Structure 1
């Protein structure tokens, strides 16, 4: 057995023992022994890991992230040397900022071929810089007495380190690269008895986040009468945040991808409430607890900067505090303080939320299938057992502004760096992982430029895996978000520099890549089209200029309704007033 085969077999076996359930690889010659070891492992007995193959390394990386977001378990990505390694960099950066468990295995040339002009050879040592939690130059494999312990121990370290972000193992492989495992290799390179990992690193599942919730010690904190709980991206335990808000009688302001916008404390229209000066003043809290990484709306970030005592909950370093306003950091969500909540405080928020929501619905119901209406109607129509990936440009912002509180669909978004790259591949990975876990159908709400940034995500869908994924594409033929950004919307040569109009026919893309296609002409079409089996693309055509006008009219309609409500409520202390009557 050659050393490359030995290393491949041992790493594959130990990663399996450590709980890795998904392996994503892109084809390559230098990485061939590992690819074949992974394939052999995936065909073994007793629930073997799932093997996913993608033709493009960049898309493979984002597919792995989609799987990691849904499963919260470490996902291995394998590639060959050279530019293949660089193409994984965007996914590594997203995993770094979103703290996703990604283990990157990169094949490399042995030291004697480096810096010689050898083909497909570049400096891969620490190529991802400080974005990885652990880097190891594994070294050219040799069959020695201590090799088995070294390789197995390193695999355990990689899985443990990936609990808080990406890990990179660089594997320098010498020829021969043929895969030639003898039948007795497990006896030559044995693992621990009972299929246990080489190193036991704790009782939690591999890749699980730090413990949060009922099993954690109670953490004392001031617990003001008028507080709010804010939940952003990637909370370790959204249910604990919901329980805190309900136990304290505080409103819950949860970004959609936090999957915490549900329960009796959930407020749906917080961006509109915080954008209305009189309402914002009336609803000013005395304390804020922030779980996860917020960053979708200026209104929510402004609330965090308002000078109110802020506690951030984050088990990781550096902790998430984008406003630099935190006065306290906790590693886990605190339990509610044992006291009687103030019903008037939550009642005031709930009443304002209903006023804003009713005004928003009236305006949206009177509109055609616009981008905000699509976001609202789609999130209302999703089955409870669905997963839905949201594009990081306008789709997730429209969902934040219009989605009503509900529990059921799992929402996913790449908000680590909030980029649009690789979103189709993320959706494919999320769909595959969701189905493997016994979940229902998968959906994605993307903009047209987000789709065009990841066309290989469409191409990489294989007949073998065939995800039941329906992508709803908002096609406004360009960068719609730039029409709403102060620094770009009034710029000279807007269309040339920011609008970037295109003439791509989405229907032709779908046909060329083997996806079903349908055009939604109006709001009434959407429910029926969502039943279209995947992989499928539903196109919704909108106009950028009209959407700008619509969003302004929505803001004005909500503001007028809140103006009327404020007149009735007045600015009396909320703690002594009964909840205001609804109009």
Structure 2
């Protein structure tokens, strides 16, 4: 039924109109956290799910609900809506909204609110929730008398936005539909009745507005951070340049990718770099941060989906798109330039061989286990990498993957937090139905931080996903930072190591999740080749006692190159 023919908007009619407007813009996945003020939204979504027009996911924890929606949006590459009631429920979405903002993921927050006349009165569960996300999400505060045209325009802009949008719906009066017949709670609208709303263009100071053509001459490296995509690889191949690609870049593929790049940046090749092209959002290592912040180099940084160019040193020329190369290859004739990539590749092969020999002597080490996980990522596999050590382990140990096999390797790298990773993984698996399998590789603290992601009701969609949890009973990543040094040892365990002693098997039993403890790489490889049915967890206990020494030894191996 066309939106313009709706009756005067009561709470249910207004809720229905907004959900219909989102549906016409292609939103098919909705995550709902239950509540009283959002009741009309919940009833309409229940009916829409029952007739097959949408897929509804109900979660009791709003923070997990937000990250589930984030994962669904990442996996499906379509906007996904998360619906909450009023009050603190909305505030709990902030971590997911922040991550969506920094990665340009189209997350639509539908927050049910009290009417404006109750704001500032102390009415129950009434707070300042319109615009609560500040700079992280545009907000449309929709009053109960909003016109159908304005409602549709707000929904349309949310669905084409780069990043999250809040649709704050003021619901007044009787929240329940007047007709108790469920068939009246939802009706599919005429998709052709809505206007098209264009997304806002990217803008920013210091941005080079047109395509940039690079000469081939300077000794160049391409840094591919999170979400860089194939354009970074294609640029490196065209220039025959080293590609320094993080695992979640989507570019760690093919012959140009340098596996041990972050260790090699501590050696003489780093001093020969003249130009750096930054694509995506690199976050994993200090050597990369130092490289792209060096004012002595020519730095070109390409804006990502969020509209931000990674330029921590504020030294880059910011580009709107990945540059192209001049046609003439003659500019490579300078001394030492024509073999630029070959020297990187030779150093990488030599260092990789030394690291592999070192790891072979420690078959149960975190690096050895990361290799097993990397080898399990065959074509059409989805791999979610948790923040902290696991992504860095895989970064140094995993050879570049071959092209044309459609792997999907992602992580919540916008802010590199551990929030909501379990829920993100479940959303990815549900949103990317065509994947051959989904693996989530996490540390124990990352897993425990979102165990509410396992609170899934019996009627909710469940994916097939394998969680591999590297359990070192605490925060091993801090061992390699300054606070892991000897002077701070008396305080380290309590305030950085944070041992927890949690029984993961018991936790899985409480949630009805299959659990298995594995310590041998061969058994882990076999388990990852099997097809899971539902959600399962493989716990891999390791020690974190040698983490700092391991990092120092890897740097020593790099100095031999």
Q: Same fold (TM over 0.5)?
A: yes
Partner of 1:580: none
Partner of 1:457: 453
In the TM superposition, residue 415 of structure 1 has moved relative to its aligned partner by: 1.1
Matches within 5 A, 1:269-418: 269-275=260-266, 277-281=267-271, 284-306=272-294, 307-314=296-303, 319-340=308-329, 344-406=339-401, 407=403, 408-418=406-416
1:218–1:113 CA distance, 2 compared to 1 (3 A) = closer
1:250–1:196 CA distance, 2 compared to 1 (3 A) = farther
For the residue of structure 2 that corresponds to 1:78, the secondary structure is: strand
Greater mean alpha carbon deviation, residues 460-469 or residues 118-127: 460-469
Matches within 5 A, 1:6-405: 6-44=13-51, 48-132=53-137, 134-141=138-145, 147-160=147-160, 162=161, 164-180=162-178, 195-196=191-192, 198-201=194-197, 219-235=212-228, 238-275=229-266, 277-281=267-271, 284-306=272-294, 307-314=296-303, 319-340=308-329, 344-405=339-400
Partner of 1:518: 516
Partner of 2:503: 505
Asked if structure 1 preserves the Cα contact closer than 8 Å seen for 2:263 and 2:554, the reply is no
The counterpart of 1:473, out of the listed 462, 465, 469, is 469
Partner of 1:567: none
2-side partners of 1:354 and 1:6: how far apart? 64
In the TM superposition, residue 325 of structure 1 has moved relative to its aligned partner by: 4.3
For the residue of structure 2 that corresponds to 1:174, the secondary structure is: coil
2-side partners of 1:182 and 1:424: how far apart? 37
1-side partners of 2:244 and 2:298: how far apart? 16
Asked if structure 2 preserves the Cα contact closer than 8 Å seen for 1:23 and 1:50, the reply is yes
2-side partners of 1:87 and 1:526: how far apart? 36
Give TM-score scaled by structure 2 length.
0.89
1:291–1:196 CA distance, 2 compared to 1 (3 A) = farther
Please list the CA deviations of residues 257-291 of structure 1 after superposition, one character each: whole Å capped at 9, or x if unmatched. Answer: 1111002211111011112x33433xx22211111
1-side partners of 2:374 and 2:200: how far apart? 29
Please list the CA deviations of residues 188-218 of structure 1 after superposition, one character each: whole Å capped at 9, or x if unmatched. Answer: 9996x6x23623235xxx99999xxxxx985
Asked if structure 2 preserves the Cα contact closer than 8 Å seen for 1:289 and 1:312, the reply is yes
1:545 aligns with 2:545: yes
In the TM superposition, residue 513 of structure 1 has moved relative to its aligned partner by: 0.8
1:37–1:489 CA distance, 2 compared to 1 (3 A) = farther
In the TM superposition, residue 44 of structure 1 has moved relative to its aligned partner by: 4.3
Alignment length (residue pairs): 533
Asked if structure 1 preserves the Cα contact closer than 8 Å seen for 2:214 and 2:324, the reply is no
1-side partners of 2:475 and 2:417: how far apart? 13
Matches within 5 A, 1:539-578: 539-560=539-560, 562=561
Please list the CA deviations of residues 123-163 of structure 1 after superposition, one character each: whole Å capped at 9, or x if unmatched. Answer: 2122111111x211101246xxxx22221122112223x2x
For the residue of structure 2 that corresponds to 1:544, the secondary structure is: coil
1:43–1:29 CA distance, 2 compared to 1 (3 A) = same
2-side partners of 1:315 and 1:423: how far apart? 22
Asked if structure 1 preserves the Cα contact closer than 8 Å seen for 2:245 and 2:257, the reply is yes
For the residue of structure 1 that corresponds to 2:130, the secondary structure is: coil
Please list the CA deviations of residues 468-504 of structure 1 after superposition, one character each: whole Å capped at 9, or x if unmatched. Answer: 1111111111111111111344423211111111111
1-side partners of 2:193 and 2:520: how far apart? 55
Please list the CA deviations of residues 353-372 of structure 1 after superposition, one character each: whole Å capped at 9, or x if unmatched. Answer: 11111111111111132112
1-side partners of 2:132 and 2:178: how far apart? 31
2-side partners of 1:316 and 1:75: how far apart? 17
Runs of 5+ consecutive residues of structure 2 not aligned to the other structure: 1-6, 204-208
Runs of 5+ consecutive residues of structure 1 not aligned to the other structure: 211-215, 563-583
For the residue of structure 2 that corresponds to 1:69, the secondary structure is: helix
Asked if structure 2 preserves the Cα contact closer than 8 Å seen for 1:31 and 1:107, the reply is yes
